[in-house]
Each structure stands twice: as C-alpha cells, then as structure tokens.
Chains A and B, each alone.
Chain A
Amino acid sequence: MTSGPSKTPAVSCRGVTKNYGTGNSEVMALRGVDLDVYPGELTLLVGPSGCGKTTLLSVLAGILNPTAGEMIVLGSRPAEMPDHRKVKFRRQNIGFVFQQFNLLPSLSAAENVSVPLLLAGWSHRKAMRVAVPLLERMEMGGRLLKALPATMSGGQQQRVAIARALCNHPRLLVCDEPTSALDGQTGRAIMELLRGEALEGDRAVIIVTHDNRTFGFADRIAQMEDGRVVEVHRQQVTAAAATGFHDTFQFTAAQSAAVSPNISV
C-alpha cells in the first residue's frame, strides 16, 4: 500500500452509490465508490462499458445526485446543496469537456469559449478579451477564431471545447472521452494539451476514457468494474510514456503502482 500525497483531495468519495429507477426496474449504477482525486493530477476513470464511469463523472461534477454515500468536491458537499447553489457551484468551479465537443453550432470558436464567462455575468466584449488569447495559446488563432464548429476538424473542435472549459479557471476539470472521437495523432495532441494546460494552477483533472492510448498521460488511473472502483494505479508520468500514445500502448505493472481503491495514494 502506498501512502497518498499530503495535500487535501480535490474530490473525495466514500461509499457513493447511485441507483436509477425504482422497484423491479431499479438499476444500481454505482455500488459504493471510494475515490480521491488530487489537485495538480490527471486522473483517468477506466473500465468496460456500463461499469459506471460516466455516472460517477456526472456525480463528481454535481450533475447527478448520489443515492447514498459521502462526497466532498473542492471542500463542499454539492449533493447537499439546493439546486440553485449547485448550479452556481458548477459554474464557478467545474469545467467540462465532452466526447462530442458539444459546441454551440451557431457560435464561432471564440464565442463558444466565451460562454462560461457570459454565464458568469461577464459582458460579451470582456469575455471575448479572455477567449481570444486563450484560443491563440492553443494554436487556434487567426481565422479559426471566427470559424463555426461545422467548419472545424474534430481536433480543432476539441481544442475549442478545452479552451471553453478552462476559460473561467475552474478548479476541477471533468472530461468525458475527450479523445475517442479523434484519430491517434490528434488524440495525443489533445492529451498533451490537457496535461499541459489543464493541470496549471493545481487544477484537478478527471477523464473518463476507454482509450488505453491515453494511459501514459495519467498520474492516477482508477479502474472501475460493476459500479465500483476496484483498483487505483498511481504512476510517474514520463515523456516516454506520454509519447507512447499509439494503438498498442499498454500500461504495465512496471509503469504503475497499484493501490487499494479505498485509500488515498
């Protein structure tokens, strides 16, 4: 068993369950998840389809309420908050990156990035003054600033989505399959971007993925099975591991240290 870092977890779950439906049709999506996610780290949630990864991500992000268990996110208990406070909590603290990018099709790249700031009450002009340099830093400057999502490649759209998720400096970034809709080279670029940009400022990053090509970029990999976190691997991210983003990449015991899922690592 490896002891965890001394810093406080950004997200801490103990015995979190989530049921859908009632009676005979009740489905237990999460069956008592214990997990800690630390700031300044990139944590992957991996596992087979239907094991509860996306449900856990939704619960961690305050989008779904857990049925039972204790969950602390950034020092707060979003599950106990009234809806309006939870919405505000999400708006102020959490950034989202989606598998299908979910950009607003009628807004340009820069306008899409400005949306979280507009939601926070910023003026359009002020929000654009933040969005444009952020996109330029992600190699999305020039004519791409005004490009509509339909005219952009998948990789470009995901860059915009990441810029959108980061523009209001959230302390927690949740990503749902950010590379699965992208080819290998673009996927690696996106993971490099997430590692480089997202971890700035002690931000915690959680990524749900099926894509084993991303494993080399993670500080911690939580393996899920049947609604539980069954294993957490902590690993040292090296340039070699990160550049191993290719179809045959497998993370091995040599690269990682397995820890009990119930204990901080």
Chain B
Amino acid sequence: MNWVALKMLTGNKGKYIGIILGVAFAALLISQQASIFCGMMLLTTSQIKDIDGADIWVMDPNVRFVDDVKPISENELYRVRGVEGVGWAVRLYKGLTRARMRTGKFQQVILIGLDDATLVGAPQPDKIVMGKIADLRRPDAIFIDEDGYELLWPGQPFELGRTFEMNDHLATVVGIFRARRTFQTMPVICARYSQSTLFVPRQRKVLTFILAQPSPGFDSADVCKQIKAQTGLEAQTRAQFCWTTMRYYLRETGIPANFGITVALGFIIGMAIAGQTFYLFTVENLKQFGTLKAMGASNATLISMIVLQAVVVASIGYCLGVGAAVGTGHLIDTQSKLAFYMPWQVMAVTGIAVMTIAMLSSVVSARRVLVLEPAIVFQGS
C-alpha cells in the first residue's frame, strides 16, 4: 500500500507542495539560525586558531577566554620551560591597544606580540597576502590582517609601507595577511614581542600567554597537567582552549538564548505550518482512509501509509530546507561579514527536528484515522 500512500500524497500537487514548503521552511529556519550561531561561536576562537605552531597555551589560572587577558610574570616562561615534557616554550603578547591614524582617526586594534627569535604564531605562508614574515624583524614593523587594513584605510588598495601610531610609536605595515574574522571585528596586528611592548602603555607585567610544544613522545594533554601541577598556571591544548572560550560565551552571554529562541521559533513555526497542513491533508482524506478501512485495511496499514507520507514529506522538505540554508549560508559567508558554519551536528539536529515535526503531525493525524468509524463511507456525500 506504500504506492497508494505516495499517490494519495502527490495526487493534489498544490497541497503536496504546500506541505513540503512548510517543512522546508522549518528546516531552513532551524539549520540557518543554528549555523549562524555556530559561526559566531567559531569567531570567538579565531585568534587561537590563527596563532599556529604550538599545541599548548599556558596562562594565568583566572583566564576565562582568549580575550580575558591577565598578564603573568616573565619568570613563568622559564618555569614552564623547566617542566618535563616541554620541548620548547615562547612568550606571546595579546592585548588591545589604540591605533592613531595620520588623519587623526583612532581605532582600537588587537595586538599580537610574537616571540622575537622564533616568530612562533606568525601567519602561515599561505595566509600572507602581501609582504614577507622576515620583514617583521625590521624596526617598527607590523603585519595587519586584510579586513583590518580595509577598516583603517577604507577603499584604498593594499600597499606596504603605510604608517600609523600606537602608544606614540610609529608602526609600519610590512605585510598583510588573511585572518579569520574575530568576534570583536577589530584589526589584528602582529609584531615582534619586544616591539609590541612598545605599542602599549607601560605595565608591570606584559606577558599574557606562553606557547609551548611538548617534546617528541609526550602527549600534549599530559604535558598540560604537568605544567599545571608544577607551575600553578593554567595550561590547555589548543582544542581545550577553544572549548574554554566557547563555553565562556555560551555560559556568560545571552547569545545561545537568543539563537535558541529563534531555533525554537523555527521549530514551532515549522510545526505549526507543516503539522497543520499535514493534519488537514489527512483530515481531508479521512473519507479515503475510511473507504480503505471498510475494504479491509488494518489500522497498522493505514498508519504505515501516514507515516510513509510524513517521512517522504520530511525528507524532501529537509533536503530543500537545508539546501537553501547552505545556499544562503554560502552567500552570507562570501558576500557579508556574518558568520555561518554548518557542522554535521546542525544537519543532524535539523533532521531530528524535522522528523519530529513530521512524526508528531502524523501521530495527531493518525489518531483521527484510528478512531475513524469505517461506517463513515455509508454516509452519502
């Protein structure tokens, strides 16, 4: 009877398309909002991912996320280097400072200070748009990310040698690199560590993070535990630090609640549209189901027909909705600065939500069919 169920479903093209569009809209809303949420969460970890080259981040134990800067003593670097299993460890400055343009305009920027000797954490060659990393060793040299460049010199072509001031010190652009978009959407500037300390007002302690790499044969997580035990500092692998940062935003900001509400609304609206349309579809077909019931269709047969119809509608609606979300997401990602990231988990959750909508609708519809008196077929028109 599956074939009959599908013919019944597709017989009225208008209603069939209406139900599918209802489900597709729900799938679009749920997957798109969830993907934008995931994209925003990813933005919070952009700088951890962009500062490449070391597996372990060491920091003050009170640091809650990557932008929560709590300077530590320079001596801590040597203590970390002394921990068994640490192959090497270098300093990293990360903070905010203010850039003063020649026009007199000011702009808050994210400043990254890289170890003078090794430049660990510098942009990788494939991310460099213009310039050479080695030029960072020149006096006053900085690299700036391309979005930041456009913010500081809007509408102007990329050009090395441009200058501005930070903390009354001259900064010269010697390179432009491609950085992941950050949560704060500020320009990201890389300089040598010694140089970066000049770009910020004098402070007693400047060192914000220590980047470390385990010795060959040592596990990063184990080395983190060793560092914590021996220095009292917090040490996390890159992945752990990404999750620490995301958890902070999830826990301490209203972002998840806001997006959660939108996703829930998507589910409810989808439920209302698809559920009601599907329910009405079944109700309008009650006489047909009654006829089948009179002719000897069991309740199990009728329910399997309804469930099949629901699964088909849900599957097609899901594909259309998620496809549309991916399409709009691609546009968003390439044409605007809005974050969009659709991991497989979003697709799975959307699939579960859409199937839930379809199943709930079919359960409600099936109830009508189960209690349907087949004698309805003898009630004339």
Contacts and interface: CB of A to CB of B under 8 A. Distances in A.
A124 to B, nearest CB: 5
A116 B291 contact: no
B288 A104 contact: yes
B356 interface: no
B294 A61 contact: yes
A104 B294 contact: no
Contacts of B379: 54
B298 A84 contact: yes
A41 interface: no
Contacts of A54: 375, 378-379
Contacts of B295: 90-91, 96, 115-116, 119
A57 interface: yes
B287 interface: yes
Contacts of A107: 4, 7, 11
Interface string B84-115: 00000000000000000000000000000000
B377 interface: yes
A92 B10 CA distance: 29
Interface in B331-381: 373-375, 377-381
Given A119-B292, A119-B301, A106 B378 contact: no
B1 interface: yes
B118 interface: no
Nearest to A93: B296
A8 interface: no
A106 B7 contact: yes
B304 to A, nearest CB: 12
Given A96-B377, A106-B12, A124 B296 contact: no
Interface in A151-193: 176-177
Interface in B1-49: 1, 3-4, 7-8, 10-12
B377 A87 contact: no
Interface residues of B, number: 28
A104 B292 CA distance: 9
A81 interface: no
Contacts of B373: 63-64
A88 B296 contact: yes
Nearest to A61: B294
Contacts, number: 84
Contacts of A251: none
Contacts of A177: 380
B316 interface: no
B297 interface: yes
Given A54-B378, A87-B298, A98-B377, A106 B10 contact: yes
A56 to B, nearest CB: 10
A83 B296 CA distance: 11
A98 B299 CA distance: 21
Interface in A37-84: 54, 57-58, 61, 63-64, 83-84
Interface residues of A, number: 32
A100 interface: yes
A87 B297 contact: yes
A119 B1 contact: yes
Interface string B284-319: 000110011111111101000000000000000000
Interface centre among B3, B10, B295, B377 (most CB of A within 10 A): B295
B291 A63 contact: no
A106 B297 contact: no
B11 to A, nearest CB: 2
A149 to B, nearest CB: 10
Contact of B374 (A63, A99, A115, A124): A63
Contact of A57 (B7, B292, B378, B381): B378
A147 B12 CA distance: 15
A105 interface: yes
A101 to B, nearest CB: 9
A100 B294 contact: no
A111 interface: yes
B4 A104 contact: yes
A120 B301 CA distance: 11
Contact of B292 (A88, A94, A106, A115): A115
A102 interface: yes
A106 B9 CA distance: 8
Given A63-B374, A176-B378, A104 B8 contact: yes
A177 B378 CA distance: 9
A49 to B, nearest CB: 11
Contact of B297 (A61, A102, A119): A119
A237 interface: no
Nearest to B6: A106
Nearest to B296: A91
A119 B375 contact: no
Interface of B: 1, 3-4, 7-8, 10-12, 287-288, 291-299, 301, 373-375, 377-381
9 contacts: A64-B375, A83-B299, A90-B295, A91-B297, A94-B296, A96-B295, A102-B291, A104-B291, A107-B4
7 A-B pairs with the lowest CB-CB distances in the bound complex, closest first: A106-B11, A91-B296, A102-B291, A90-B296, A58-B375, A54-B378, A63-B374
Given A87-B293, A90-B295, A118-B4, 12 more contacts: A58-B378, A63-B294, A63-B375, A83-B299, A90-B294, A94-B296, A98-B377, A98-B378, A104-B288, A105-B11, A118-B1, A176-B378
